[in-house]
Amino acid sequence: SDPGLVARARAAKEALGDRVFVLGHHYQRDEVIAFADVTGDSFKLAKDAAARPQAEYIVFCGVHFMAESADILTADTQQVVLPDLAAGCSMADMATAEQVAECWDVLTEAGVAGTTVPVSYMNSSADIKAFTGRHGGTICTSSNARRALDWAFSQGEKVLFLPDQHLGRNTAVRDLGMSLDDCVVYNPHKPGGGLTPQQLRDAKMILWRGHCSVHGRFSLDSVDEVRARIPGVNVLVHPECKHEVVAAADHVGSTEHIIKTLEAAPAGSSWAVGTELNLVRRLANRFAEQDKQIVFLDRTVCFCSTMNRIDLPHLVWALESLVDGRVVNRIQVDAETEKYAKLALERMLALP
Ligand code: CIZ
Ligand code: SF4
């Protein structure tokens, strides 16, 4: 990257000292990760920020819902900055507050709302987290989705899982032993979600029709192709991938789990990894010298385009503005939304 920008980023960070804490999500570009004080998945980063109350400014290098979660979990005195406001998440955008309220009306009319517990993936807007908190539900991450579902089924008969249908289905089938027939998909673009009241009454898992535009693109063909190309390869994928891809893989887990699995892998082993490309490339470089071969599962899949919006120029602009005393692109969740979103997040923290 541009040496002038690297020097400016370094100077701005030095000028701010402990007043700024830069968080870098695993899917961020190398040029951004170079300036991160800590890296992690969205939940780890929010907790790391909360553990640094002396940091007045949290510069979140990730996407919008992550910056919202950091604002919810940090002290009110800490201001969260997203270096580019266009860094959204297509999955989070697939469930709006209006659509989810309408869905709850549909469940109410079918007579099942009273026995349904919402479980929302971390990858959702603060509004959806607040809906979840208001209706007795919990948040989950890809690391604790199983525990979240076990808890939810101890509270009610059905789960409304938002917004990633794949994580919901994979967890229900792989971890809870449900059948695919126990799951129905609620389509917010169709009247009644495209489901009959009877289908809603029969289902155990009501999956929101959302998906990740990166992980959802890996296919069964890509698994077959890499197995043919690299004999003995271990296929390791994220649970946001389609069920058929997860079923064909050797290992499935969150980004943190993927990193730990590769750290523990023996020298000489080969891995095809189905998650975001920035992370896979970084891991491939990191482990190359230990003689671990790491390839991207599907050469036709690209970076997460919204993650990639955060680049060095945007980071430099955000940091230099803070040096000048201007807080740009602040992400601030309103008090009412924060209260209920926090309730849902606290239920997750209290999961057995
Ligand atoms: O797919 C994503 O965006 C993930 C895994 C986010 C997260 O929770 O860190
Ligand atoms: Fe959203 Fe998928 Fe990008 Fe994650 S990788 S920010 S879920 S679009």
* CA nearest neighbour of 121 among 76, 166, 183: 166
CB neighbours (10 Å) of residue 336?
A: 9
- State the distance from the centre of ligand 1 to the C-alpha of 88, rounded, in angstroms: 12
Q: Measured between alpha carbons, how far is 178 from 117 in angstroms, rounded to an integer?
A: 17
- State the distance from the centre of ligand 1 to the C-alpha of 42, rounded, in angstroms: 6
N residues, the chain: 352
Q: What dotted CATH number matches 3-88+307-334?
A: 3.40.50.10800
- Give the per-residue pLDDT at 43: 86
Q: Does domain 215-296 have CATH number 3.40.50.10800?
A: yes
| All structural domains of the chain with their residue ranges | 3-88+307-334, 92-211, 215-296
Q: The sheet that has 293-296: what strands, in order across it?
A: 251-252, 234-237, 270-274, 293-296
Encoded tokens for 163: 């917004």
- Pick from 29, 63, 68 the residue to mutate for probing ligand 2's pocket: most ligand atoms within 8 Å of its CB: 63
- Pick from 162, 164, 167, 214 the residue to mutate for probing ligand 2's pocket: most ligand atoms within 8 Å of its CB: 214
pLDDT in tens, the chain (352 residues): 899 999 999 999 999 999 999 999 999 999 999 999 999 998 899 889 989 999 999 999 999 999 999 999 999 999 999 999 999 999 999 999 999 999 999 999 999 999 999 999 999 999 999 999 999 999 999 999 999 999 999 999 999 999 999 999 999 999 999 999 999 999 999 999 999 999 999 999 999 999 999 999 999 999 999 999 999 999 999 999 999 999 999 999 999 999 999 999 999 999 999 999 999 999 999 999 999 999 999 989 889 999 999 999 999 999 999 999 999 999 999 999 999 999 999 999 999 8
* CA nearest neighbour of 298 among 345, 239, 229: 229
Give the side-chain half-sphere CA count within 13 A for 183.
24
- Give the per-residue pLDDT at 352: 86
ipTM confidence score: 0.95
- CATH architecture of the domain with range 92-211: 3-Layer(aba) Sandwich (3.40)
Please check whether the two domains, 3-88+307-334 and 92-211, share a CATH topology. Answer: yes
CA 347 to chain centre: 18
Q: How far is CA 333 from CA 79, 176, 198, 257, 319, in A?
A: 11, 34, 38, 30, 21
**DSSP one-letter code for 227:** H
- Tell me if residue 236 falls in helix, strand or coil: strand
- Ligand 1 atom closest to 276 (CA): 1
What is the H or E stretch that residue 55 is in?
A: none
Is 237:274 a contact under the CB 8 Å cutoff? yes
Strands of the chain (E only): list them: 20-25, 38-40, 57-61, 79-81, 116-121, 138-140, 158-162, 183-186, 205-208, 234-237, 251-252, 270-274, 293-296
Global pTM value: 0.96
Q: Measured between alpha carbons, how far is 347 from 343 in angstroms, rounded to an integer?
A: 6
* CA nearest neighbour of 238 among 164, 339, 342: 164
- State the distance from the centre of ligand 1 to the C-alpha of 252, rounded, in angstroms: 14
Residue 212 in contact with ligand 2 by CB distance below 6 A: yes
Nearest CA to ligand 2 atom 3: 304
- State the distance from the centre of ligand 1 to the C-alpha of 115, rounded, in angstroms: 29
Residue 20's beta-bridge partner residues?
Answer: 57
Residue 90 in contact with ligand 2 by CB distance below 6 A: yes
